Amino acid sequence: MKIYKFFNLILLIIFTQFITSCSSNSSMKPEDFKDKKPRLIIEEYLAGEVKAWGILQNRSGKVTRQFSATLNGKWDGTQLILDETFNWDDGEIQNRQWKINKIDEHNYEGTAGDVVGKAKGFSFGPAFKFEYVLLVPVKGKEMKITFDDWIFMQDEKVAINRAKMTKFGIRVADLTVVFVKD
């Protein structure tokens, strides 16, 4: 009986991975936005101070946390140093410093203290896609959560960010952020 349950579990995992991989192949790509305006040049938009407000939703859509944030970026011509301070509604304050290198017109790489390996960024038209694995504190431990992060520029001051957060290919949360540049 135990072998039967184990076999069913393996089939369920394979099936879930198959469905997840099929759905990701049909999802939008950064290149889909290449001819759209306004153009988001991430190193220009995030240079200086940007304010942000956001919500975190669990996989069923319930808002579990809210935050405000201040981002301060410095662009030196090849690298964006971005300091982020998040003020969560439960009193937690979280800081992160990104170092984002521009590889060419459309490609970026980034690192941060709580990012596993390198983040990959792709910029086309008003869209910037950032893919990375973040160490997220959960009940005193760090979990590796994969972020599929999209920023869409609305005008010269406002951008909207949507991030899908997954673990083992299964959606665990969504993050929505509004950025406003002074």
pLDDT in tens, 49-99: 999 999 999 999 999 999 999 999 999 999 999 999 999 999 999 999 999
Look over the chain and give the mean of its residue pLDDT values, rounded to a whole number. Answer: 89
The pTM for the full model equals 0.83
The token pair that represents 175 in the structure block: 């993050």
**Nearest alpha carbon to residue 178 among 81, 57, 50:** 50
pLDDT at 19 over 50: no
pLDDT at 103 over 60: yes
**Nearest alpha carbon to residue 171 among 41, 14, 7, 24:** 24
Q: Give the start-to-end residue ranges of the domains of the chain.
A: 28-181
Amino acid at 174: D
Q: Is the CATH number of domain 28-181 2.40.128.20?
A: yes
Query: Given this model, what pLDDT does residue 83 score?
Result: 98
pLDDT at 24 over 50: no
CA 169 from centre of chain: 15
